[in-house]
Chains A and B, each alone.
Chain A
């Protein structure tokens, strides 16, 4: 009976296990090892030790991609969380049509980043609506995507547009759990809206905000689709970011070893964020 159960259990798990070995565990280990080789398709592979890492450290383009990725994330993460928080508070209480608004604000999340990229390319083009709008209020107009300083902010705007609905949903779920009596009691005690937000709502939201911060940071570190569609890393490599460089090295230059080294850097960055979250949350509890 016991043996039979074990056999059935293993049998049911087997297909998934094989898939994981071939496409998750294996590649994860291989991804680490490849970084120390000069692997490329159709050629002899040899160990190159720390060559790829050394090359990465010496590669100005890598540092540039890293810096751009960090700047992008430092802008995109807080802005999308702030937008998510604002929108969650706005549609928190029930009113006529509230469900319609909530669904509407979630719509960009189900939209593919490629479609968003295509539409926003036009929005940010020299004769697009963004430029017209800026011109109309007396600001310098022109294409943000061909401006070396404004291209990253343009990508950030797209990120906020595509991401805020997700954060809104997470925060909304937490907001629903705050007992109404808590706020009503504070109200009777004369707390104004800001105080109620600051001392009741915000502390309740803290874990959810941390959770969001980690997810949004990871997503930002891995930005690719919009860069590929909207800028191709340009102009003059001013929107060249890490995953784009990984893609470029692997699938344009077929330098799989170097691409894996960049993947390793990305992995370390993700780990550091997870670690920071652990430590900060640990302190708060």
Chain B
């Protein structure tokens, strides 16, 4: 849980001194040579980081069969052929719908259930509370793959293979979400809750009109993170969504790739799968980085 105390590192600005405190000299700033070296390294790192994205976009815009190195990397000739194919294919639209359902329903459900439980763990006294909470936390230690097979058996026996609920339900048991909610709600001032108690507020109204507005920041951070995790999830959708109309974008694209579909088509599909995440990242970058550092790992 070391990473709990890492706020938006991407936004932080190390060199700007706190107000009222002038730095005596700029000696820690790199020399001119150091700056040049840094620029070169940054350039190289940027090329390495961005190249796969560039290749993904450029190759998706090639006419079928025209991918030959090194011409393949030139941004012309351009053709929308692959996109026409992908966006015209019912299967891809279906996968996009499935991915959206899987991600959005899971986000809403995880936020709702984890905030309810987190609120109870933080503010209520009830028998077995500590044992329950700490056994939830202990489950973070058990690798996901140990529970994979039995979870599949449960879902399979209950008839959940190739259904939305079979896909979604097991992923709602999210220990990190409960933990973060509980920590956040614990850190809120007691007076807020006491005042509401005196007002004779009903528990449900208290949750809806007090707790939910107060935890907006953590809802946003966690929501973005859970969305990202589900949108990119692969193994669980792979084993539960077996029929072709129950695939998500990740498993669908992997199957296209395995069936040796033309590269421009697979990559156009990849762009379609990447754009929502990219847009969300542009808008809510802070929440992405906070969510990922707070929860440590994906999953």
Contacts and interface: CB of A to CB of B under 8 A. Distances in A.
Interface stretch (B20-28, B74-82, B86-94, B213-221): B20-28
Contacts of A173: 3, 5-7, 9, 12, 293
Which secondary structure dominates chain A's binding surface? helix
A173 to B, nearest CB: 4
B3 to A, nearest CB: 6
Contact of B42 (A26, A101, A264): A101
B27 A184 contact: yes
Contacts of B283: none
* Majority SS at the chain B contact face: helix
Interface in B201-247: 203, 207, 228, 231-232, 234-235, 238-239
Nearest to A108: B49
B150 A31 contact: yes
Interface string A88-126: 001111110001011111111111111111111111000
Q: How large is the interface on B (under 10, 10 to 19, 20 to 34, 35 or more residues)?
A: 35 or more
B281 interface: yes
Contacts of A122: 55, 59, 67, 263
Contact of B52 (A34, A114, A116, A270): A116
Interface of B: 2-3, 5-7, 9-17, 23-24, 27-30, 35, 38, 41-42, 45-46, 48-53, 55-56, 59, 67-70, 73, 113-114, 116-117, 119-121, 124-127, 129, 132, 135-136, 139, 141-154, 156, 169-170, 172-173, 175, 178, 203, 207, 228, 231-232, 234-235, 238-239, 250-251, 253-254, 257-258, 263, 266-267, 270, 273-274, 277-278, 281, 285, 288-289, 292-293, 296-297
7 contacts: A6-B124, A31-B149, A94-B14, A122-B55, A122-B263, A169-B9, A228-B254
Given A112-B234, A112-B274, A129-B55, 10 more contacts: A6-B124, A8-B120, A110-B232, A114-B234, A118-B253, A122-B67, A132-B70, A218-B297, A266-B143, A266-B145
Interface of A: 2, 5-10, 12-13, 15-17, 19-20, 22-28, 30-32, 34, 39, 41, 87, 90-95, 99, 101-123, 127-129, 131-132, 161, 166, 169-170, 172-176, 180, 183-184, 187, 207-208, 211, 215, 218-219, 221-222, 224-225, 228-229, 232, 243, 246-247, 250-251, 256, 259-260, 263-264, 266-267, 270, 274
